[in-house]
A and B are shown apart, each in its own frame.
Chain A
């Protein structure tokens, strides 16, 4: 596997701001992985994405796209990447199909529009003006727009925000299939459910710095408590017991409860990504 993006010592400042928005971050995005960039609003994740998709160019540091200097790559870069924005980005007085055909007209390689729209459940509404679409339909159409050119790297922002569970599942399945077929995904979100289900690795962006880069599993192990909590019933009352994971197989008290009590629940002390988000960023996402 090669490296899709290699970012080293990236700094960025908007012309109107006094201080750097991005403060010397470094990370790699491997080809074929789903990389999640998480962080609270204003942390710099959108700016990072805008830099990676070449909308912002006055940065310092080095960014390599499959080994080539990103600054040296011309507009053909957009043949290879797909960008899914969080907000609707379509002409409201045109139908969904007219929108898709218009955007598809600028790419050399395009996916089958009908197949994509059928998959997300929009084909039967292809002749409806986008302005008449619900929020969820617009989000699904945004996703179709993002993968219209069969991109090598897909950038998506809050991809399931505003979708019902069924449609969110469809989009996540499509992303997983895209990755399984060799695609690379750069996901920015604060929806931890998406991260848990999709991301191979995540990075937490806080005040323009990256605080953690790891797999969701390793983060859970790092921030979780190495303990087991058991709820069991005894004499008509629910009791709790907490045991350290170390040598739990030879812990007599633990063995005793498992063998002799009526167990109601058993939980390991691993924490959720939501809790890790709060610990790392210091911001409550609820």
Chain B
């Protein structure tokens, strides 16, 4: 546990040193500016989308950037010869990425309250962000470990976004009708969006919420155990 804390604090320290956390904070503050110029109703409707983007797409992007940078620097190889397990290294990276999502949630929630007086169940949102973030970190690992470099990782991210993330954005803006929602819930990103939206707009469809949670937890577990873990180890050894 002690090692896990040290690893996670090392990851967070590097997020600061590599200017990833400050950039993420600046992005979050951009959302605040948007909230200043829109109505309370619009803010409540658009906030889930902004949180969803930070928790899903930004997590994938962050994991990709981190892994490819570390591959370039050879640090993963150096970590592999420490008295640590691969599982501990992966969990620390996942925690650090999810933390960025949580940071975005805190800034966005604070802005919604201070500007428009909007409140919601913060603990439930944190739990859902943790689950949605975890699943997207697993997807991020999968895409990063399946790509040669960061450019090809971006290509894979685009390929992921078209079938899995764009429909969610279209759904948010009403382009895709509500009757098709169960169909697009096959996308992990839509399941994540569904969880975040339900808390922020205070409308709970528990069947969909439970289904989304189970789906994201199973997907994250399967990806970590059967793909991410062996691929990460293989990549680290090959250097």
Judged by a CB distance under 8 angstroms, whether A90 is at the interface is yes
User: Which stretch from B81-89, B100-108, B137-145 is at the chain A interface?
Assistant: B81-89
Q: Which of A91-138 contact B (CB under 8 A)?
A: 91-94, 102-103, 105-107
Complex Cα distance A55/B83, Å? 12
Judged by a CB distance under 8 angstroms, whether A152 is at the interface is no
Judged by a CB distance under 8 angstroms, whether B237 is at the interface is yes
By the criterion CB–CB under 8 Å, are B239 and A87 in contact? yes
Q: Which of B10, B14, B75, B85 contacts A89 (CB 8 A)?
A: B75
By the criterion CB–CB under 8 Å, are B82 and A50 in contact? no
By the criterion CB–CB under 8 Å, are A79 and B83 in contact? yes
Q: How many contacts A-B (CB < 8 Å)?
A: 58
Q: Which of A150-204 contact B (CB under 8 A)?
A: none
Please report the total number of A residues contacting B with Cβ < 8 Å.
26
Interface digits, B142-163 against A, CB 8 Å rule (1 contact, 0 not)? 0000000000000000000000
Judged by a CB distance under 8 angstroms, whether A17 is at the interface is no
Q: Given the complex, which residues of B lie within 8 Å of A88, measured CB to CB?
A: 73-74
Complex Cα distance A105/B6, Å? 8
Q: Given the complex, which residues of A lie within 8 Å of B74, measured CB to CB?
A: 85, 87-90
Q: Which of B75-119 contact A (CB under 8 A)?
A: 75, 77-78, 80-85
Q: Given the complex, which residues of A lie within 8 Å of B18, measured CB to CB?
A: 93
Judged by a CB distance under 8 angstroms, whether A78 is at the interface is yes
Whole-angstrom distance from the CB of A187 to the nearest CB of chain B? 16
By the criterion CB–CB under 8 Å, are B237 and A50 in contact? yes
Complex Cα distance A91/B18, Å? 10
By the criterion CB–CB under 8 Å, are B73 and A102 in contact? no
Q: Given the complex, which residues of B lie within 8 Å of A140, measured CB to CB?
A: none
Q: Which of A50-92 contact B (CB under 8 A)?
A: 50, 53, 55-56, 75-79, 81, 83, 85, 87-92
Judged by a CB distance under 8 angstroms, whether B204 is at the interface is no
Judged by a CB distance under 8 angstroms, whether B17 is at the interface is yes
By the criterion CB–CB under 8 Å, are A93 and B14 in contact? yes
Whole-angstrom distance from the CB of B77 to the nearest CB of chain A? 6
Whole-angstrom distance from the CB of B71 to the nearest CB of chain A? 11
Judged by a CB distance under 8 angstroms, whether A45 is at the interface is no
By the criterion CB–CB under 8 Å, are B78 and A85 in contact? yes
- Residue of chain B at shortest CB distance from A95: B17
By the criterion CB–CB under 8 Å, are B81 and A106 in contact? no
Also in contact, A94 and B80, with CB within 8 A (given A50-B237, A75-B85, A88-B74) = no
- Residue of chain A at shortest CB distance from B72: A92
Q: Given the complex, which residues of B lie within 8 Å of A93, measured CB to CB?
A: 14, 17-18
Q: Given the complex, which residues of B lie within 8 Å of A77, measured CB to CB?
A: 83
Complex Cα distance A90/B74, Å? 7
- Residue of chain A at shortest CB distance from B82: A106
Whole-angstrom distance from the CB of A267 to the nearest CB of chain B? 43
Q: Given the complex, which residues of B lie within 8 Å of A91, measured CB to CB?
A: 14, 17, 73, 75
Could you jot down 19 A-B contacts, CB within 8 Å?
A55-B81, A75-B83, A77-B83, A78-B83, A85-B78, A89-B73, A89-B75, A89-B77, A90-B74, A90-B78, A91-B73, A93-B18, A94-B13, A94-B14, A94-B17, A106-B3, A106-B6, A106-B83, A107-B82
Report which A residues bind B (CB closer than 8 A): 50, 53, 55-56, 75-79, 81, 83, 85, 87-94, 102-103, 105-107, 145
Extra contacts besides A85-B74, A87-B239, A105-B6 (20): CB < 8 Å = A55-B236, A55-B237, A56-B237, A75-B83, A75-B84, A78-B81, A78-B82, A79-B83, A81-B81, A85-B77, A88-B74, A90-B74, A90-B78, A91-B14, A94-B14, A94-B17, A103-B78, A103-B82, A106-B83, A107-B83
